[in-house]
Chains A and B, each alone.
Chain A
Amino acid sequence: EVQLVESGGGLVQPGRSLRLSCGVSGFSFGDYAMSWFRQAPGKGLEWVGFIRSNLHGGTTDYAASMQGRFTISRDDSKGIAYLQVNSLKTEDTAVYYCNRRLKASAFDYWGQGTLVTVSS
């Protein structure tokens, strides 16, 4: 059974940094690109970015609005994907989801999400 479990969310003050983790099981992690999304309370889905498999260079792409403060990385030996967010703003408050990128625009397995609340 494929499982993705996000962790690392919580209450954070504006300006601080946070690193979210996404542990996976049930598939060969190194063979797939992994992606992050977020969903602000009561709002729609917003793509953050993704990281290709190391077979495809392990490079990253981000939504234009996420460039600069967001960094996605991966550790294939541990089967974990990471999302680093710097200089957090109140508008970053959201549930953050990781998922497996099957192909362009197709994200076939999702975690349950982790809530990040940015507030003083």
Chain B
Amino acid sequence: QSALTQPASVSGSPGQSITISCTGTSSDVGGYNYVSWYQQHPGKGPKLMIYDVTNRPSGVSNRFSGSKSGNTASLTISGLQAEDEADYYCSSYTSGSTLEVFGGGTKLTVL
């Protein structure tokens, strides 16, 4: 069982917006602004999409945005495109014995 809770799947049509939630506790998501989001296509390594809750690495489309409220972080993808179909994972720094915790992943389907 993953430390952070994500929905197993979300879907949307091209051009629409979707939001993926990531719920933790005050020891991780709620306690630090060190939340990241990763995109993983089948058979590929993950790609960092968002870090520090809201920051996009160079080269990541501005259609991807992050936010946080309390113990829940969110990834929003606007203007959905076919290539956005992938698995998405959230992660957070934690004060626990394991410094980094992950969500179980969300499969995004673009209809």
Pairwise interchain contact A111-B103, C-beta atoms closer than 8 A? no
- Of the listed stretches A7-15, A61-69, A71-79, A83-91, chain B binds A61-69
Residue of A nearest to B89 (CB): A45
Roughly how many angstroms separate A106 CA and B92 CA in the complex, as a whole number?
9
- Docked CA distance A115–B79 (Å): 35
- Say whether A105 contacts B45, CB under 8 Å: no
Contact of A110 with B35 at beta-carbon distance under 8 Å, contacts A45-B89, A47-B100, A61-B99 already known:
no
Whether a CB of chain A sits under 8 angstroms from the CB of B65 is no
Count, chain A residues at interface, CB 8 A: 22
Query: How far is B92's CA from A113's CA once the two chains are assembled, in angstroms?
Result: 22
| Contact yes or no, A105 B36, CB < 8 A | yes
Do A46 and B102 have beta carbons less than 8 Å apart?
Answer: yes
Decide if B2 touches A112 in the complex (CB within 8 Å).
no
Measured CA separation A91–B36 after assembly (Å): 27
Partner of B45, one of A61, A103, A104, A110: A110
B40 proximity list for chain A (CB < 8 A): 45
Query: Are A97 and B89 neighbours in the complex by a CB distance under 8 Å?
Result: no
Determine the distance from Cα of A89 to Cα of B50 in the docked complex, in whole angstroms.
34
Contact check, B104 vs A105: say whether CB atoms are below 8 A apart.
no
Residues of A within 8 A of B14 (CB): none
Q: Which of B52-111 contact A (CB under 8 A)?
A: 52, 57, 89, 91-93, 96-105
For B52, list chain A residues within 8 Å (CB): 103, 106
Q: Are B34 and A106 in contact (CB under 8 A)?
A: yes
Q: Contacts A106-B48, A111-B45 hold; do A45 and B38 have CB atoms under 8 A apart? A: yes
Q: Which residues of A contact B38 (CB under 8 A)?
A: 45, 107
Task: Given A104-B32, A107-B46, A108-B57, output 7 extra A-B contacts at Cβ < 8 Å.
Answer: A44-B103, A44-B104, A45-B105, A103-B51, A104-B34, A105-B100, A112-B44
| A interface with B by C-beta (< 8 Å) | 37, 44-47, 61, 63-65, 97, 99, 102-108, 110-113
